[in-house]
Amino acid sequence: MSLYMKIAFWATVAGQIILLLAFVAYKENTLRSGTSVLLQTVPIDPRSVLQGDYAILDYEIAELPDSVVFSTGQRFYIRLIERQDGVWGAGGYYTEKPDSDDVFIRGTVKPGGRLEFGIDTFFVPEGTGQIIERASDVKVRVAVSSGGSAVIEELLVDGEPFDPRDSKAPDEPAKEPPPVAPAATPSLAPK
């Protein structure tokens, strides 16, 4: 392998690593310095809640008002206001980034006219999605950066942080341990 090929190979590897680290650093910065908001999810057809090992999340604020004209792929900014119950709701939908110090989240119109924020999936360990599917109330705490991008901090299922290690799917009966076969007792009689 020529010196030029070695340099090109290692430059490509270094470039990919730098891009990966930049992506992680951007998300980590949002988590550390972003405003923490609690968003209400809306019910989804339970037959399609799980696809693989993640749950699909949809939000109340993702539905555009009837008065808003939009096209698929268009970017929107939603000004968020905190309600009395601690959940943040939409205070306005804008096509331009707000200039004020208000908290806002950036979304893109997807086919069907709902907004997508980049926080529409939540990865779960295999077999634990029924906990989310059967919950009566699911909220998501997200960190929102000053530019409007969002990162999921935690998922709240029926008011409790989602922890599949401590949770059991509702209506799932406790599993009984298998019966232990009686140990054979050795005979004391001489042979």
Written as six digits, the tokens of 58 are 């949809």
Pick from 49-53, 79-83, 129-133, 160-164: least confident: 49-53
113: containing domain: 35-161
Q: Does 2 share its domain with 23?
A: yes
Q: Does 71 share its domain with 113?
A: yes
Q: Three-class SS of residue 72?
A: coil
Q: Who's near 146: CB < 8 A, 6+ residues apart?
A: 34
User: Could you give the C-alpha distances from 128 to 59, 166, 167, in angstroms and in order?
Assistant: 21, 11, 8
Residue with the larger pLDDT of the pair 53 and 120: 120
For residues 124-130, average pLDDT: 76
Q: Does 26 share its domain with 113?
A: no
Instruction: Tell me, yes or no, whether 176 lies in a domain.
Output: no
**pLDDT per residue as tens digits for the range 22-31:** 888 888 877 7
Q: Does 14 share its domain with 45?
A: no
What's the Rg (C-alpha) of the chain? 25
Q: Does 108 share its domain with 19?
A: no
Written as six digits, the tokens of 100 are 């004020």
Q: How many domains does the chain have?
A: 2
Written as six digits, the tokens of 68 are 């808003």
Other CB atoms within 10 A of residue 10 CB = 10
Q: Does 101 share its domain with 55?
A: yes
